[in-house]
């Protein structure tokens, strides 16, 4: 079978790019989370404490859409910034699997295309299940 | 606010450090830490732990992937099984009451303690079986002389079944379930131990990520807790990884196993009194 990438080349590409992807998303999400915490410390320490106590008493259960969170982040709300940072962090594996999917698609390696597509679909299904659960 | 943040950071740095030094992962220590010491509800503690497991896996697996220890093809195939288990487990966690989850967590801690004490032998298969050969799952790992040494892989169906269990435990209890993953690859699929550990570390991120997405979208991840915990556990795990080559891991592991059993008893007793 003719492949778009030389045999064995995909391993080299994965070993070069995967660490880069993992590290980049990890650093970006950490910066966003540190930013959110720093903003809470500087501008809304009382709000953070009230939120923490509400969590301890099981009184805080907020299900927000990404649009709401983006809006909160735009207004500099520490909670919105921290939550976006957490979402970014969970993107680490998603981005890595998506990259592998594209690589095997270019290579036309059907078994691995199906395997990575299955993982991607399961991750997206997880978000949908959480919404209804 | 500073005292709450300092407490959460100290707890999570400690959990990350102990998790790295014991080889059990931060999740096993951060969940009981949050529940018993910080009085955080079980579901929120699991959500925070899953996020921190994603972060530590991403940080720890970089070097293993770069140096050729991780078997990426084995990871991709087995991730289908772990993700299925993780999404199911995370969904089920939303339906189970906190005391039952705490009891399950206590039982899992006892199982982790047993895994930590079990001696692991090194195996090295020269050839893969038919299915694994067709999927090109065999690989190469760096040998003592620096040259790459080929190894084979067998029993993919058996390994995949145990991976569903590992995923289920991860999504349900907020842990990486690395011990079960390593057992599946090392004991059932006969991968070399260091390759199994590196591949498990790599897969833990996707497994925990699948569970974390369910918890996040359900509203069971509280940013005020999860953000400092994720940063703290990652920092602790990074420090632990650097200290690890310079300490007597056997003695430390035995000490941590005793601590683990004590925490499991405390958690189990708490849960039993409320069931």
With an 8 Å Cβ cutoff, are A49 and B223 in contact? no
pLDDT digits (tens, 9 = 90+) for B13-52: 998 888 887 777 788 889 999 999 999 999 999 999 999 9
Give the Cα separation of B189 and B209 in Å (integer).
Answer: 24
Give the Cα separation of B101 and A4 in Å (integer).
Answer: 49
SS3 B140: strand
Give the Cα separation of B49 and B170 in Å (integer).
Answer: 10
- State residue A47's pLDDT score: 80
Q: What is the DSSP string of A14-46?
A: HHHHHHHHHHHHHHHHHHHHHHHHHHHHHH-HH
pLDDT digits (tens, 9 = 90+) for B70-89: 898 999 999 999 999 999 99
- State residue A1's pLDDT score: 40
Distance in Å, alpha carbon of B206 to nearest chain A alpha carbon = 5
A-chain CB neighbours of B220 within 8 Å are 61
With an 8 Å Cβ cutoff, are B223 and A96 in contact? no
Contacts 24+ apart (CB under 8 A), B111-115: B111/B179, B112/B24, B112/B28, B112/B179, B112/B260, B113/B257, B113/B260, B113/B261, B113/B264, B115/B179, B115/B180, B115/B183
Whether B33 and B48 have beta carbons less than 8 Å apart is answered as no
> Quick check: B92 contacting A, CB < 8 Å?
no
Compute how many other C-beta atoms are within 10 angstroms of the C-beta atom of residue B70: 28
Helix, strand, coil in percent for chain A, rounding step 5:
80, 0, 20
Which pTM value belongs to this model? Answer: 0.89
CA nearest to B51, candidates A128, A4, A126, A88: A88
B-chain CB neighbours of A100 within 8 Å are 72, 76
> Quick check: B234 contacting A, CB < 8 Å?
yes
- According to DSSP, the residues that pair with B139 across neighbouring strands are B151
State the pLDDT confidence band at A29, using cuts at 50, 70 and 90.
Answer: confident
Interface pTM (ipTM) of the complex? 0.86
Q: Residue B211: is its pLDDT beyond 90?
A: yes
Chain B, window 197-216: residues with a beta carbon less than 8 angstroms from a chain A beta carbon: 205-206, 208-216
Contacts 24+ apart (CB under 8 A), B140-147: B140/B68, B141/B68, B141/B69, B141/B192, B141/B194, B141/B195, B142/B67, B142/B68, B142/B69
Q: Residue B145: is its pLDDT beyond 80?
A: no
Place of tokens 């409320």: B274
Compute how many other C-beta atoms are within 10 angstroms of the C-beta atom of residue B64: 19
Q: Report the percent of chain B where pLDDT is more than 70.
A: 97
- State residue A3's pLDDT score: 45
- State residue B76's pLDDT score: 93
Whether B275 and B99 have beta carbons less than 8 Å apart is answered as yes
With an 8 Å Cβ cutoff, are B76 and A100 in contact? yes
Distance in Å, alpha carbon of A70 to nearest chain B alpha carbon = 14
Q: For residues B249 and B198, which has the higher predicted lDDT (pLDDT)?
A: B198
Chain A, window 22-61: residues with a beta carbon less than 8 angstroms from a chain B beta carbon: 22-23, 25-26, 29-30, 33-34, 36-37, 40-41, 45-46, 48-49, 51-52, 55-56, 58, 60-61
State the pLDDT confidence band at A133, using cuts at 50, 70 and 90.
Answer: low
Please state which of the ranges A26-40, A61-75, A93-107, B132-146 shows the lowest mean pLDDT. A61-75
Q: What domain range is B256 assigned to? A: 2-274
Q: Which residues contact A73 (CB under 8 A, 6 or more apart)?
A: A80, A81, A84
- State residue B103's pLDDT score: 93
- Highest mean pLDDT range out of A6-10, A44-48, A58-62, A100-104? A100-104
> Quick check: B251 contacting A, CB < 8 Å?
no
Average pLDDT over residues B165-180: 90
What mean pLDDT, rounded, does chain B reach? 87
State the pLDDT confidence band at B3, using cuts at 50, 70 and 90.
Answer: confident
Domain count, chain B: 1
Whether B55 and B212 have beta carbons less than 8 Å apart is answered as no
What mean pLDDT, rounded, does chain A reach? 83
- State residue B259's pLDDT score: 85
With an 8 Å Cβ cutoff, are A56 and B51 in contact? no
Domain ranges (residues) in chain A:
9-132
Average pLDDT over residues B182-205: 88
């Amino acid at each position: 079978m003719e492949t778009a990438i030389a045999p064995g080349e995909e391993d080299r590409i994965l070993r070069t790019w995967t660490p880069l992807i993992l590290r980049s998303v990890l650093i970006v999400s950490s910066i966003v989370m540190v930013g959110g915490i720093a903003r809470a410390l500087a501008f809304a320490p009382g709000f953070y404490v009230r939120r923490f106590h509400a969590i301890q008493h099981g009184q805080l259960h907020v299900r927000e859409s990404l649009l709401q969170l983006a809006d909160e982040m735009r207004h500099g709300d520490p909670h919105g910034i921290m939550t976006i940072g957490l979402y970014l962090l969970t993107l680490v594996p998603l981005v890595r699997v998506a990259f592998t999917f594209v690589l095997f698609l270019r290579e036309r390696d059907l078994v691995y295309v199906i395997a990575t597509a299955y993982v991607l679909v399961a991750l997206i299904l997880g978000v949908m299940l959480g919404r209804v659960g | 606010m500073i005292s709450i943040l300092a407490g959460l950071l100290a707890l999570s740095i400690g959990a990350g450090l102990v998790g790295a030094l014991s080889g059990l992962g931060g999740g096993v220590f951060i969940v009981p830490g949050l529940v018993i010491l910080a009085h955080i509800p079980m579901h929120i503690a699991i959500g925070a732990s899953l996020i921190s497991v994603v972060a530590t896996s991403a940080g720890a697996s970089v070097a293993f992937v770069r140096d050729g220890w991780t078997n990426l093809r084995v990871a991709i195939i087995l991730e289908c099984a772990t993700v299925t288990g993780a999404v199911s487990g995370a969904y089920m966690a939303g339906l189970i009451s906190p005391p039952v989850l705490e009891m399950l967590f206590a039982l899992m801690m006892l199982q982790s303690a047993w895994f930590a004490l079990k001696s692991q032998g090194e195996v090295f298969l020269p050839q893969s079986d038919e299915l694994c050969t067709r999927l090109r799952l065999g690989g190469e790992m760096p040998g003592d002389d620096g040259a790459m040494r080929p190894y084979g892989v067998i029993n993919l169906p058996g390994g995949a079944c145990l991976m569903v269990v590992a995923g289920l435990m991860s999504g349900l209890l907020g842990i990486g379930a690395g011990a079960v993953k390593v057992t599946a690859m090392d004991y059932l699929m006969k991968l070399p131990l260091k390759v199994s550990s590196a591949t498990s570390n790599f897969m833990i991120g996707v497994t925990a990520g699948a569970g974390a997405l369910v918890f996040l979208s359900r509203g069971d991840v509280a940013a005020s807790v999860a953000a400092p915990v994720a940063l703290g556990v990652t920092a602790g795990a990074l420090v632990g990884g650097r200290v690890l080559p310079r300490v007597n891991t056997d003695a430390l592991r035995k000490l941590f196993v005793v601590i683990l059993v004590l925490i499991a008893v405390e958690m189990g007793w708490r849960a039993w009194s409320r069931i």
